[in-house]
A and B are shown apart, each in its own frame.
Chain A
Amino acid sequence: MLLNEFLFLAAFLFCVGVYGALARKNAVLVLMSIELILNAVNINLVAFAAYGHLIAGQVFALFVVAIAAAEVGVGLAIVLLIYRNRHSVDLTSVNSMKG
Chain B
Amino acid sequence: MILAATQHLDVAQNIVFGLVSLSMVVAAIRVVTTDNVVHAALYLVVVLAGVAVDYVLLAAEFIAVVQILVYIGAIVVLLLFGTMLTRAPIGKSADLDNDQRWAAAVVSLFLLGVLGWALNDAWGSDRLPPAQVQRTADVGNSIFQTFVIPFEVVSILLLAALVGAVVIARRD
Is B a genuine binding partner of A? yes
A residues contacting B by CB (< 8 A) are 1-9, 11-20, 22-29, 31-33, 35-36, 39, 42-43, 46-47, 49-51, 53, 55-56, 58-59, 61-63, 65-74, 76-81, 83-84, 89-92
Question: Within 8 Å CB of A58, what residues of B?
Answer: 60, 62-63, 134, 139, 142
The 12 listed contacts between A and B (C-beta, < 8 Å) are A4-B123, A24-B98, A25-B95, A26-B37, A28-B83, A33-B32, A39-B71, A49-B134, A66-B154, A66-B158, A72-B75, A73-B165
Partner of A6, one of B40, B58, B88, B100: B58
What's the least CB distance linking A59 to chain B, in Å?
Answer: 5
Main secondary structure of the interface of B (DSSP, over half): helix
What's the least CB distance linking B134 to chain A, in Å?
Answer: 6
Beyond contacts A11-B115, A28-B83: 4 other A-B pairs, Cβ-Cβ < 8 A, are A15-B109, A26-B37, A50-B131, A80-B82
Question: Within 8 Å CB of B54, what residues of A?
Answer: 6, 9, 43, 46
Q: Within the assembled complex, what's the spacing in Å between the Cα atoms of A7 and B105?
A: 21
Partner of B66, one of A6, A50, A56, A62: A62
Given A39-B48, A50-B129, A73-B162, answer yes or no on A1-B31 (Cβ-Cβ < 8 Å): no
B105 touches A32 (CB 8 A): no
B86 touches A89 (CB 8 A): yes
A11 touches B169 (CB 8 A): no
Question: Within 8 Å CB of A6, what residues of B?
Answer: 54, 58
CB interface residues, B 117-141, toward A, < 8 Å: 119-120, 123-129, 131-132, 134, 138-139
A74 touches B168 (CB 8 A): yes
